[in-house]
Structure 1
Amino acid sequence: MFRRLSVLLAALVLLTSCAVPPDSPRFQPSGDLPRYDQPSFDEYIRDTRAWIADNRSFISDDRHREIQLNAPFERRPATPAKRGILFVHGLGSSPWYFTDMANAMAEDGWLVRSILLPGHGTRPADLMLPGNDDWEDAIAHHTKLLSDEVDELWLGGFSTGGNLVTSQAFKDESVDGLLLFSPGFYPDSQYLFLAPAISYFWDWLDIDEEDNIVTYQSLPSRGASLYYHSVSTVQKNLNAERFDKPVLMTMSQHDSVLDPAATLKAFQTRFPHPSSRFVWYGDTPQHLDDPRVTALTSYLPDRRISNFSHMNVLFAPENTYYGEAGSYLMLENGQENLSPPDDPDTLWFGAWGHSGAQTYHARLTWNPYFDHLLENIREVTGD
C-alpha cells in the first residue's frame, strides 16, 4: 500500500490510471469515527474495541483475533511504573505493530500504551474520514493521559507515526525522549505534495486484495494527503529548531518509500543529544564520523535475507504473525517478472521490489537484530 505511493502518484499525475474499487463494504466508509478523548485509557480501549466490532469488514473467521490485533492496548509492568511510553503506528497499520516491543519494555518496568489512529482498524475506506486534527488531537490527548500517570514520558512512532510523535514532542515539554522506527520525515517521492489536490478528484490511489488482518493493503488518496500533512509539519519543525532530548532512530538503507540518507543527515544535524543513537541497517555510510550511529549489515545469506524493508524492524523473529515462522507471508512484493517458488524454503527476503538473479524475494517482516534493538533502547533511555 504505502510502499507504492510514489509510483501511484506519478501515474495519476500523468493521468494514465486511477483506481476503481469493487462493490464491497471494505471500500465504503463507516458512518463515523470512534471517540478518542475518553477520560481514561481503559475506557478508550473498551469503546474502540466495540467500534471496531461494529464497523470492521472482517477478513477471517476469527473475529476476536482481528479485533484484538487492531485495537489499542496497554502493557503494565509487575510493579508501579515511573516511566511510560505512548506508541503510534504508521499509515495503514495497527497498534499491534508494537506488541513485541511493548512486551519487552513492560518487562523492563515501563507502562506502555499503543493507540489506534482514527480511520484505522476497520476498513481501508475509513481513511477517508479523519482530518489532520483527528490524528494530532488523539496523540495530544493520550500523551496528556499518560503524562498524568508517570514521572518520565516518552513517545514512539513508526513511519507516519514517527512524524506525528516528533511534531508532538516539539510542542510538548512533558516529552522526555523519542523512539522512532523508519520515521517518514523524507519520502522518496517528488509528487507527494500533489496528494491533497489529487484527493479532490480521485478517491483511491491503490486497490488491493485485503488479506492482511493488521495492515490495510489499499490506499485512499485521503490517506496520502494525511501523510503529506505529517511530512510538511515535521519538516517545518526540524527546519526551525533542533530537538535536544534523547532519540533512538532506525532506518534501512534499502527503505523503498523513504529517503534514508536525508533521514540520517537530519539525525546528525537536528538531534544533537549525546545519548541519542541511530541504527542503520545496511552498508556503513561513507564518510561517517558520528559515533552515535551504528551500522549493521542487512545482507544475511545464512537466513536468506538480502536487505531490510521499511517495516521489519519492529518485529521479533518469534512473532507468530510476521515472524520468521509466522502465519502471514508477504509474497506480493513488487517483482513483475518472477513468480513465487513452490518450495517456501527457497524464498529470500528483503525490501519491497528487491530482486536478484532469478531469486524471488518475499517481504522481510521480522528483525534478526531485534534483541540488539532492545539493548539500544535501554542504552538511549538509561535503563
Structure 2
Amino acid sequence: MTVENMTVQSPLESSSLLLAPKVVLHDHLDGGLRPQTVIDLAADVGYANLPSTDVDELGRWFAEAANSGSLETYLETFAHTVAVMQTVSALRRVARECVEDLAADGVVYAEIRYAPELHLERGLTLDEVVEAVLAGFADGEADAAHRGRPIVVRALVTAMRHAARSREIAELAVRYRRQGVVGFDIAGAEAGYPPSRHLDAFDYMRANNARFTIHAGEAFGLPSIHEAISFCGADRLGHGVRVIDDITLPPGARPDDLSFDGAVLGDVANYVRDKRIPLELCPSSNVQTGAVADLASHPFNILARLRFRVTVNTDNRLMSDTTMSTEMQRLATQFGYGWTDLQRFTVNAMKSAFLPFDERLTIIDDVIKPGYAVLLG
C-alpha cells in the first residue's frame, strides 16, 4: 500500500516547528514539571529527598534516571514529582505552568492526564484535587491567550492499574465531565495488571456515554492491546506501539521505507486499523522504557504508511527532556517527513480528541489547517 501524500523532505527547522500548530493527547501532568518548580515545591512542603537542588543537575537526573530501558524503573522517577504535588496551591501551579509551556511550544489543544488518587497524602479529597488542577488549567489558558498563543486544555483522570479505585475514578470523570474532564484512563506497570481487572470502571464509562483510553501495548505487548479493545472497549490506545507484533512485513522491509506493500496484518492489527482506533505514540518515551530499541527501529513510520491513525505525543516532558516540537523534529529527521505529514498526524490527533465533534472541527478548520497552510507556503 503506497501512501501517496506522505513526503520526504530535508529536516525541518526548529524555529519553524515552534510555529506549527500541535495537538497532544498523551501527556502526564506529574511528568512535565519544570525542574525549578520541583525544587520550589519541595522546599514549600519540606520534602528533602530530591537527588539535587540545582536546576540543571535535577533536570539531567530525571532524564538519565528515566533512560533505563525498563518501564518499572522509569516509573520510579515519579516518586519525586508526586511527592511535591500534594496541596491545592502546588497542583494549581503545576497545572498552570503545564499549559504555559505547551502553549509556548505551539500546542493548540492538549489532553493532560493525572491520577487524582496519588495526590491525597496531605488530606485533599479526590474532588479537591480535580478542582485544583482544572483551576490551574484555566489560569494557564488565560495567560496563554494574553500572550497571543491561545490553547484549549482538557483533563483525563487516571486510575492506577495496580490499585482498586478505578470505578471511583471513573465516577469522578463523569462527575466533572461538564467542567473540563473529558475522559478516563488507567496507567502504571502493565505486567501482572491487565486492563480487564478494571471492567467495572469501563462498563461505568460506557453506561454514561463517556470516553476512555487505556495504557496498553507499551511494556506487555499484543495481549494487553487485545484486552483493551476487545474486552474493555477502549476508544484510544495509550502507546499501542506493540501492535507492530501483529504485522508481518515484506522480506527485507526497513522501518524507514516509503512503502510497505505486501504487509500482512493479523486480526488485532486489522481491527485497530479498520476501527480507526487512535494510537497515542510517544517516540522518545517508548525508547526510554524499552518498548523499542531506538528511534530508528520505532514502528511509527510503518504504522503511519500503513494508514493506522498515528498521533505524536510527549508522554512525560520532564523525564524525556522533550517537547512536541522536539518529538516532531526527531520523527521528521529519522523518517524524512515534511509539513504535509506533520499536518496529517496533527489532524489525526484532533480527530481523536475527546472533545465534542463541532469543537474538534473548529480547531481543525480554523487553527490547524490555516497554520500549516502558512508553513506549506
The two structures share one fold, judged by TM-score above 0.5: no
Give the alignment's TM-score, normalised by structure 2.
Answer: 0.38
The structure, 1 or 2, with the larger RCO (C-alpha pairs under 8 Å, 6+ apart) is: 2
Higher helix share: 2
